[in-house]
Structures are given as structure tokens and as C-alpha cells.
Amino acid sequence: MTSEQESTRVVPYISLAGRAGEAIEFWGRAFVAEKIMAFEEDGRLRHAEVRINGGPVYLTDFHPDPAHVFQPTRSIAMHLAVPDGGAWMERGQAAGCRIMTPWQQLPFGGFGRLVDPFGVVWSIASPKS
């Protein structure tokens, strides 16, 4: 971390039980993720950072508890606020995401949800047009 602002933000950190490298590649296709760094240990990703829509996401193949089993949840979603949400939904679906909530215009703007092959939910919103 290089600045005070960076050290005080909240950053999602996802443990993908051996699939972090695959997620980085997939998110590149689906959400234009840019790999910032990846540190490997024993052929697995110890720590990696990608940037999606300007924001960081950390991920790992490991978990502090060796008995940990990855359990995706619908209770938490990665949220993308973008000017062209319909296009992001289409790109995500074309890459292999499943649509949970089809893209729709609501009183506050456009909204839709996808789930990726790893079980991570992505909500996508655009301002009211």
C-alpha cells in the first residue's frame, strides 16, 4: 500500500480454494479485470490483486484454516456501478456467468445480477437514464 487513502479502504478478499488463478482469467473476460500482482507459493496463489472497474479485489488459493471449504453465498455480492450496465451484463453472460436477475430499468436506474462459475454474485447497476 502506498498511500494513507489506500490503507484505510475496505477491499474484498476472496479465498477460492485452488481456483484463484482461474478466477483471474475468467474475471478478465467477464469484467475486464486487470491483474496487478500475484504471489505464488508451492504452485498456488498465496495472494493476488486484480482491479475491476477501478477497484481492487484480493484473492487467494489458501485459507488460514486448513479445514476451510469454499462456500459461496448469495448473502454477499460484488457490486459494480458502471455507466453501461447492460453491456457489462452481456459481457459477463458471454464469458460464462449465469443471469440471476435480468437487466432491467428501475426507478433508481438499471440493475441486474450475475453469478460466476465460482459462485461469486455480481450485482451491476447504472444510473437512471
pLDDT tens, position by position, 21-40:
999 999 999 999 999 999 99
| DSSP classification of residue 54 | T
pTM for the whole thing? 0.86
Q: Average pLDDT for residues 75-84, to the nearest whole number?
A: 93
- Dihedral through CA 71, CA 9, CA 53, CA 110, nearest 10? 80
Confidence of residue 121 (pLDDT cuts 50, 70, 90): very high
Confidence of residue 1 (pLDDT cuts 50, 70, 90): very low
Domains of the chain from N-terminus onward: 4-127 (3.10.180.10)
Q: Where are the alpha helices (DSSP H) in 1-129?
A: 4-7, 20-31, 85-95
pLDDT at 99 over 70: yes
Nearby residues of 51 by Cβ (< 8 Å), 6 or more positions away: 33, 34, 36, 57
